[in-house]
Amino acid sequence: MIITCPICRIKFNLDDERIPEGRAKVRCSKCQHVFPVQKSSPLERTSPPDKIPPSTIPENSYPKTPRKIEMPPRKKPAARRFSSPRVIIIVILILIGIGYGASLVWKNPEVSREIGSRFSILKQSLGLSDKTEGFLALEKVKGYYLENKRLTRIFVIEGQAVNHWQEARSFIKVKGTLLDAKGEKVEEKTGYCGNILLEEDLKAFSREEIAKSLSSQFGETFSNVNISPGKSVPFMIVFTDFSSGRMPGRPEQQPAAKASEGSPGISDFLVEVVSSQKGSRDQSWPPSAPK
């Protein structure tokens, strides 16, 4: 008897004598598939049917479960490594560029303020700005020498402090620093804005008279009190104790004119804002002086 496996289509020659009466299951020797077969022509027997030979399989010996096809496991793609020299060089160049840009901003406070101003405008347009943030800018800064009748020579720094806060500011205090030719600090002095001396007074006053005239924290006629946003107040710092070899040149926060050409030993000077206080809501009268 010729039988065919329904899975692999392989044909086998099976002895009819080995197939019991009725149906029986057989297993394909190639694909191991189990399927039912029956005799091609039934035989009449007077004796009991023979025992099922070992090669045949009873119908209920295997559960009827669907065959599962197992797929081979997928290999995960290997992580891409960015360790090539080109990537390393690009990262190094980016770091160098960031460092160079930071150094330019650090050495040029005007650029730093410009960047800060642009960010402030952006934050304000996005509704993220703090109503209390701001800064004081020093503008029109210049330094020059004057001959004094009692002190021989003095060095004067003057300029304008502009309020870039969104509120009034009071008691603005600035500091001037003299630098020698090597850039080292020689002398520094602080003073309140709003105190200005005429050139005639600078030439005639003694050291004590100059210091007293520039010491008022309120400024002349309360000019250093309740400075509105966008407004400015003048300042003046006078150095009376330095040798002719200790000379200055430009402020820290704003470019300034050099001291008069021809003066011996000219180097540099720095000017910066030391402190200020929030102005009073009562604009008609200055707030109490700080302790």
Element (H, E) at 12: strand 11-13
CA angle 81, 87, 91 (to 5 degrees): 125
* Residues 6+ away with beta carbon under 8 Å from 105: 111, 112, 115
pLDDT exceeds cutoff 70 at 285: no
CA–CA separation, 276 vs 194, rounded Å?
13
Q: How big is the CA angle at 267 (ends 264 and 271), to the nearest 5 degrees? A: 130
Q: Which pLDDT tens digit goes with each residue over 45-78?
A: 445 555 555 555 555 555 555 555 556 666 666 5
**pTM assigned to the model:** 0.49
Please name the residue that has the structure tokens 């200020």. 276
Q: State mean pLDDT over 126-136.
A: 65
Q: Per CATH, is 136-278 categorized as 1.10.10?
A: no
How far is residue 237's CA from residue 158's CA, in Å, rounded to a whole number? 6
Judged against a pLDDT cut of 50, whether residue 165 lies above it is answered with yes
pLDDT in tens, 180-211: 888 888 889 999 999 999 999 999 999 999 99
Question: Cα–Cα distance between 209 and 104 in angstroms, integer?
Answer: 41
State the burial class of residue 57 (Cβ atoms within 10 Å of its Cβ: 0-12, 13-18, 19+). middle
Minimum mean pLDDT range among 164-168, 188-192, 232-236, 263-267: 263-267
Distance CA 39, CA 29 (A): 19
- Output the pLDDT for position 38: 76
Share of the chain above pLDDT 70, in %: 62
